[in-house]
Protein backbone atom coordinates (compact mmCIF):
# COMPACT_ATOMS: atom_id res chain seq x y z
CA UNK A 1 0.00 0.00 0.00
CA UNK A 2 1.20 3.46 -0.87
CA UNK A 3 0.66 6.54 1.29
CA UNK A 4 -0.05 9.91 -0.31
CA UNK A 5 -0.68 13.35 1.11
CA UNK A 6 -4.04 15.06 0.65
CA UNK A 7 -2.25 17.53 -1.66
CA UNK A 8 -0.92 14.69 -3.84
CA UNK A 9 -4.39 13.12 -3.95
CA UNK A 10 -5.99 16.33 -5.20
CA UNK A 11 -3.21 16.72 -7.83
CA UNK A 12 -3.81 13.16 -9.04
CA UNK A 13 -7.57 13.72 -9.20
CA UNK A 14 -7.07 16.94 -11.20
CA UNK A 15 -4.70 15.16 -13.60
CA UNK A 16 -7.24 12.33 -14.02
CA UNK A 17 -10.01 14.81 -14.86
CA UNK A 18 -7.72 16.49 -17.41
CA UNK A 19 -6.91 13.16 -19.07
CA UNK A 20 -10.56 12.07 -19.17
CA UNK A 21 -11.46 15.43 -20.75
CA UNK A 22 -8.90 14.74 -23.52
CA UNK A 23 -10.73 11.57 -24.60
CA UNK A 24 -13.26 13.27 -26.94
CA UNK A 25 -10.51 15.44 -28.46
CA UNK A 26 -8.40 12.40 -29.31
CA UNK A 27 -11.44 10.53 -30.63
CA UNK A 28 -12.19 13.46 -32.95
CA UNK A 29 -8.57 13.46 -34.18
CA UNK A 30 -8.87 9.75 -34.98
CA UNK A 31 -12.15 10.29 -36.84
CA UNK A 32 -10.71 13.18 -38.87
CA UNK A 33 -7.60 11.18 -39.73
CA UNK A 34 -9.72 8.17 -40.69
CA UNK A 35 -11.71 10.38 -43.07
CA UNK A 36 -8.52 11.21 -44.97
CA UNK A 37 -8.46 7.72 -46.45
CA UNK A 38 -5.86 4.95 -46.57
CA UNK A 39 -5.13 4.01 -42.93
CA UNK A 40 -2.02 2.00 -43.76
CA UNK A 41 0.04 5.08 -44.65
CA UNK A 42 -1.89 7.66 -42.64
CA UNK A 43 0.58 9.19 -40.13
CA UNK A 44 -2.10 11.40 -38.58
CA UNK A 45 -4.24 8.36 -37.79
CA UNK A 46 -1.37 6.38 -36.28
CA UNK A 47 -0.21 9.35 -34.18
CA UNK A 48 -3.74 9.91 -32.86
CA UNK A 49 -4.13 6.20 -32.02
CA UNK A 50 -0.79 6.25 -30.19
CA UNK A 51 -1.88 9.34 -28.23
CA UNK A 52 -5.10 7.55 -27.35
CA UNK A 53 -3.19 4.52 -26.06
CA UNK A 54 -0.83 6.64 -23.96
CA UNK A 55 -3.74 8.67 -22.57
CA UNK A 56 -5.71 5.54 -21.61
CA UNK A 57 -2.64 3.94 -20.01
CA UNK A 58 -2.06 7.04 -17.88
CA UNK A 59 -5.75 7.11 -16.88
CA UNK A 60 -5.53 3.46 -15.75
CA UNK A 61 -2.28 4.12 -13.86
CA UNK A 62 -3.75 7.07 -11.95
CA UNK A 63 -7.04 5.25 -11.23
CA UNK A 64 -5.13 2.24 -9.86
CA UNK A 65 -2.90 4.47 -7.79
CA UNK A 66 -5.85 6.36 -6.31
CA UNK A 67 -7.69 3.09 -5.58
CA UNK A 68 -4.75 1.50 -3.76
CA UNK A 69 -3.32 4.58 -2.03
CA UNK A 70 -4.14 5.64 1.49
CA UNK A 71 -4.32 9.33 2.27
CA UNK A 72 -2.23 10.31 5.27
CA UNK A 73 -4.05 11.93 8.18
CA UNK A 74 -1.53 14.65 8.97
CA UNK A 75 -3.17 15.40 12.34
CA UNK A 76 -2.39 11.88 13.62
CA UNK A 77 1.37 12.22 13.06
CA UNK A 78 3.52 13.50 15.95
CA UNK A 79 5.01 16.94 15.32
CA UNK A 80 8.58 15.70 15.78
CA UNK A 81 8.30 12.67 13.44
CA UNK A 82 9.16 12.71 9.73
CA UNK A 83 6.34 11.33 7.63
CA UNK A 84 4.96 11.72 4.13
CA UNK A 85 4.47 15.37 3.20
CA UNK A 86 6.98 16.64 5.75
CA UNK A 87 9.65 19.15 4.79
CA UNK A 88 12.81 18.47 6.76
CA UNK A 89 16.01 20.42 7.32
CA UNK A 90 18.87 17.93 7.15
CA UNK A 91 22.51 18.52 8.02
CA UNK A 92 24.98 16.22 6.29
CA UNK A 93 27.61 14.79 8.62
CA UNK A 94 30.98 13.67 7.23
CA UNK A 95 33.06 10.68 8.37
CA UNK A 96 34.78 12.77 11.06
CA UNK A 97 31.44 13.77 12.61
CA UNK A 98 31.61 17.36 11.34
CA UNK A 99 28.56 19.10 9.91
CA UNK A 100 29.15 19.66 6.20
CA UNK A 101 26.03 20.85 4.39
CA UNK A 102 22.44 21.83 5.17
CA UNK A 103 19.48 21.35 2.81
CA UNK A 104 15.69 21.14 2.84
CA UNK A 105 14.11 17.85 1.76
CA UNK A 106 10.43 17.07 1.23
CA UNK A 107 9.20 13.49 1.61
CA UNK A 108 6.66 12.75 -1.15
CA UNK A 109 4.82 9.71 -2.49
CA UNK A 110 5.70 10.47 -6.12
CA UNK A 111 7.98 13.16 -7.45
CA UNK A 112 6.32 16.10 -9.18
CA UNK A 113 9.33 16.54 -11.43
CA UNK A 114 9.80 20.19 -10.49
CA UNK A 115 13.34 21.18 -9.67
CA UNK A 116 12.69 23.83 -7.07
CA UNK A 117 16.00 25.12 -5.77
CA UNK A 118 14.66 25.56 -2.25
CA UNK A 119 13.43 22.02 -1.53
CA UNK A 120 14.70 18.65 -2.76
CA UNK A 121 11.92 16.12 -3.29
CA UNK A 122 12.57 12.61 -1.97
CA UNK A 123 10.16 9.75 -2.66
CA UNK A 124 9.21 7.52 0.24
CA UNK A 125 10.44 4.44 -1.64
CA UNK A 126 13.94 5.84 -2.28
CA UNK A 127 16.85 4.95 0.05
CA UNK A 128 16.74 8.49 1.48
CA UNK A 129 12.97 8.35 1.94
CA UNK A 130 13.09 4.97 3.67
CA UNK A 131 15.74 6.26 6.06
CA UNK A 132 13.79 9.41 6.86
CA UNK A 133 10.38 7.78 7.32
CA UNK A 134 9.37 7.85 11.00
CA UNK A 135 12.68 9.35 12.12
CA UNK A 136 12.51 12.07 14.74
CA UNK A 137 14.07 15.50 15.13
CA UNK A 138 17.59 15.23 16.52
CA UNK A 139 18.24 11.72 15.18
CA UNK A 140 21.08 10.90 12.81
CA UNK A 141 19.94 8.72 9.90
CA UNK A 142 22.18 6.60 7.72
CA UNK A 143 21.40 6.49 4.00
CA UNK A 144 22.90 3.83 1.73
CA UNK A 145 23.31 5.63 -1.59
CA UNK A 146 24.82 4.31 -4.85
CA UNK A 147 27.99 6.33 -4.19
CA UNK A 148 28.34 5.18 -0.61
CA UNK A 149 26.78 5.69 2.77
CA UNK A 150 25.96 9.18 4.05
CA UNK A 151 24.72 10.36 7.41
CA UNK A 152 22.27 13.16 8.04
CA UNK A 153 21.12 14.81 11.25
CA UNK A 154 17.47 15.82 11.31
CA UNK A 155 17.68 19.44 12.44
CA UNK A 156 13.99 20.34 12.26
CA UNK A 157 10.69 19.70 10.54
CA UNK A 158 9.71 22.87 8.73
Q: Which of 22, 50, 71 is the last residue of a domain?
A: 71
Rounded mean pLDDT of the chain? 86
Q: Which of 42, 71, 100 is the last residue of a domain?
A: 71
How many domains are contained in the chain? 2
Question: Quick one: 133 and 101 in the same domain?
Answer: yes
Confidence of residue 96 (pLDDT cuts 50, 70, 90): confident
Would you state the pLDDT for residue 62? 93
Q: Which of 10, 41, 71 is the last residue of a domain?
A: 71
Question: Quick one: 79 and 47 in the same domain?
Answer: no
DSSP character for 136?
B
Question: Quick one: 57 and 6 in the same domain?
Answer: yes
Three-state DSSP at 145 gives strand
Question: Quick one: 141 and 98 in the same domain?
Answer: yes
Question: Quick one: 65 and 94 in the same domain?
Answer: no
**For residue 48, what is the domain's CATH number?**
1.10.287.180
Would you state the pLDDT for residue 117? 66
pLDDT tens-digit readout, 102-154: 889 888 877 777 776 688 888 888 888 888 888 888 888 999 888 888 899 99
The parent domain of residue 55 ranges over: 2-71
**For residue 91, what is the domain's CATH number?**
3.10.50.30
Question: Quick one: 79 and 111 in the same domain?
Answer: yes
DSSP labels, 38-102: -STT-HHHHHHHHHHHHHHHHHHHHHHHHHHEEE--GGGS-TTB--TT-EEEEEEE-TTS-EEEE
- Sheet (strand 87-93) strand order: 119-123, 99-108, 87-93, 148-157, 140-145
Amino acid sequence: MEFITPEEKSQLEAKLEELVAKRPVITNRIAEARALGDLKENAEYHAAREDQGLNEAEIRRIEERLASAKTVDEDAIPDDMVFLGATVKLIEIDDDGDEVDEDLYKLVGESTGSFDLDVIEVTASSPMGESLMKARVGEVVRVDLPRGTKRFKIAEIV
